[in-house]
Structure 1
């Protein structure tokens, strides 16, 4: 009979900022799981007063990694009875678990305030990813893009997924987000726990750059380790423009972009870059976009004439 190891994880409130991300990431991925041992992990939420997209994506990735490993035997109990209403509804409506809780008051979080958690497998391809982004992210009329800008933004986001699949050797890429209806702020986070952008850049350049220098290379216009872009949909964008397009978008929008990878935290806001060294290593690459939704603004390229559709 295999020995059983019991873990009790007291989940804290996890805010949707960099401190919340690092704190919960370190809590989850410091749990050591070994082959040949049975594990019983209970997540208690008695000390948790708030859940957001950081909690949803990190908990989703952790559970996904356990599920896909056939050599590790783990029983996970999400103690929904210990959740307050906000935490339960957020995680339920983010599609993180089935509605199986008892003794929790029913409630509803409007769909337009959520970008539900989803895991994408490499075999699914770009069209599945783009359909999700168009339907759940920009398809709810939160932000107005011209057709050309929309194509470029979609291509840039796909480049993040594709780099994870092609060079980080990730079989899955995870995504979710939220929309703050009161502040009119839209947030999207995309991540994986593969080799990460630092490893990919060093392998591509056949050098050993420091983490910040490797990330600076990846963020420079025209640099990319990815070789194809929007192959299935037939709309190509020169490689290496992914982060550049997203940087331009957050600059003109007064939004922000963050990257968590290796020992580096990157933050772009108010047209300025900040690189911070962190003690804990982050596996893979995690990109977070924060955009302001302005109903009276249409985002176009400088030399682009707006192409308004005609209705009859």
Structure 2
């Protein structure tokens, strides 16, 4: 029985193709029960690799059934057929994803970026408070609803954090996600704090929101890593970003994991909290620029406009050796 027939029996009228990979695809469908369109993720177990079936898919399904937050894509139903196909019925991002939105319309004004970034950060805090990490935060995984609100999606690399006997989070050793959004410790192949990895990705997303371009060029991973570790961030001068916004990005894209902001510190930052903006008291220089080893102000963004080519995926078996990092 084909997908359309299976979905029809469950009360869904299959629509257009939204995306397709080697062992999974996403379709739109109309739910006769809900009376609106949904997204259907269809995974073919017969085509999927063993590590995905044994580790990542069970984690994703478990986590999706736990999540309930206004800025996270809702999961309505999960079922499996006898021939090994898994169907995940989810909320549809009717306005597409954030990457396409920015590629089409350009960088967001700070007020709009603040609203969307607050929504995203709230979703990440919700997950982190449950000891759930996403590990693949990127603009393609941020869907937009009819009112252009953020909906965090794609928990394929997510996991529940483990703790040792003393209650401390154990380090992750699976190097997954997308290179352009990956923290330096992940690119180096060092066992990492997964929540802290998510924070770095938030910084990359915020930069893209307000600048309309990537903060780092991942076409040369070794060079990108060196720039990250030197804590160098170039902001396009013509964007006229506020000092508060630059300060937040600078503090999030902190290569020292012990100094990188936590999610609660992000949500309480003066830029994220509009009412507190006048009380902003973080260290700034006379021009309102964040202090650091290098001024994060540049004459232009050296990496150009957003490109899908700058989101190379790190597979679960990704190794830094493959990217000439020694």
- TM-score normalised per structure 2: 0.30
Which protein has the bigger strand share?
1
TM-score norm. by structure 1 comes to: 0.31
